[in-house]
Structure 1
């Protein structure tokens, strides 16, 4: 048997024009994630940021450095993330920073 949907009366609906502001949900969310790791010959930085709202802003940055000084090796990983969201009078924000540094002598 087939399911059939019949809509017979839409007269109660009103059109929405450009001057009508519709904000779905009204909830806001901001979240950040970062992890760093450094060791002999490697440096790893992972970062993420997410925001949900009518006005949102996200920013991420990752930087890794591995240097060999002959008898000394230096590894560094840095990760930063920022997320910000607003809807009406609700605001959510999140910031994270992570740094790993390693020195190894030979």
Structure 2
């Protein structure tokens, strides 16, 4: 039943100068995405990276890897700000979790 088992807090990995408030925002948003998981979430890793020699319009990448009862979920988003990248990644996670309702 969704929401009956507490999801683990994401393990956060930061690459580059990311303000602590942005890391907390990312952690909160990713954890919120898994509250509706149809099965227990066993592991969540969140990586926030500031890109250096890349396209100047896309400076931050957020990657999420999760194990939901043996099924791997991955979401990645790149955007000009950490907040935008986190919001995009969260939307992609929610879409994947919505599709998981068809899991057997």
Higher helix share: 2
Q: Which has the higher Rg, Structure 1 or Structure 2?
A: 1
TM-score range (shorter-chain normalised) is 0.3 to 0.5
Higher strand share: 1
TM-score by length of 1: 0.32
